[in-house]
Copies of this chain bind each other. A is one copy, B any other.
Amino acid sequence: MSHNTFGHLFRVTTWGESHGPAMGCIVDGTPPGIALSEGDIQHWLDKRKPGTSRFVTQRREPDAVKILSGVFGDEDTAGQVTTGTPIALHIDNVDARSRDYEGIKDKFRPGHADYAYFIKYGVRDYRGGGRQSARETAARVAAGGIARKILDQLVPGGVRIRGALIQLGKHTIDRKKWDWAQTEQNPFWSPDASVVPGWEAYLDDLRKAGSSCGAVIELVAEGAPAGLGAPVYGKLDAELASALMSINAVKGVEIGAGFAAAALSGEENADEMRMKDGKPFFLSNGAGGILGGISTGQDIVARFAVKPTSSILAPRKTITRSGEETEIQTTGRHDPCVGIRAVPVGEAMMACVLADHLLRHRAQCG
């Protein structure tokens, strides 16, 4: 991973500021011959885009993606495929309101990256957070759409990557009620329908109070082949950790049993193995599908924690660029819980990491 690039063989380089004219990415390393249309990518962007419910920011961005290179053939007849050359994806910004940010251009918002960027670079595009804005994640989701196509075409049976919100603020789900179909039926991507009314009331209250909350998201990849990953530093779990921690506002990542593994006994922790229909399988999945940094063929399970949105109405103590103590109150349009829109972003990052490792595995192991 370099500053604005992730992946090694499936490489995504993103660009763009929240209030610049546009944003996008270059996806390099895609195998040739993968069927790919703008619709394949737009489908996932629509999951992430703002304004889909009252629980996310009201900025109106269609997030319409254009493919500017790297494909060839007739899009109308679905004959368009990747050529193996870099795929440039372009998304125009159409609803930026830069004036909302005039009042804070000389103040650092607590919990935001304002201060860190200023100290590092000495200059920053403060409008909408510039490059530090979660708007950058649209490019990740777009790239993830390509990664999914690669996985579907190159892995027999395909790879299914889904995410669910399993904790909203202090409120958790009942894992016994887990139903993946429900995640598409409520604005929170909750797999447990029973918690939805309560979450709605809770988030309505938070939103009206100008406050915010955090969340925990769980990602599951089904169908990923055994053998992906690499020992020591190119470990599949290490790169998932990096990919997920790189999402705005993420403060923790875990694989399989995660932090709870510390309290298990050795007997509980070790997933036993048996044979079924001539194939190995495991009696449990505390490992989250990864051992020694390499996938085992089980479901790959990762979770990540998102902190509360830092943009809140309550006045907070801060300082100015010139070092004076002051207070700040953030206005503008914001997500009361950025964790909600982080679900499709997390899925996209997992897809990108798996696509990258699929290509890396082909390189070394044929």
Contact = CB atoms under 8 A, between A and B. Distances in A.
Interface in A70-99: 70, 72-73, 81, 83-88
A263 B170 contact: yes
Interface string A204-235: 00000001111110000000001101111111
- In this complex, which of A13, A16, A244 has the most chain B Cβ atoms within 10 angstroms of its Cβ? A13
A261 interface: yes
B216 A262 contact: yes
Contact of A251 (B70, B132, B227, B255): B255
A201 interface: no
A104 interface: no
A2 B238 CA distance: 11
Contacts of A232: 3-4, 14, 131, 136, 246
Contacts of A235: 245-246
Contacts of A267: 211, 312, 314, 316
Contact of A214 (B121, B262, B290): B262
Contacts of A360: 9, 363
Contact of A21 (B3, B68, B86, B361): B68
B366 A115 contact: no
A296 B116 contact: yes
Contacts of A365: 31-32, 84, 120-122
A269 interface: yes
A298 to B, nearest CB: 10
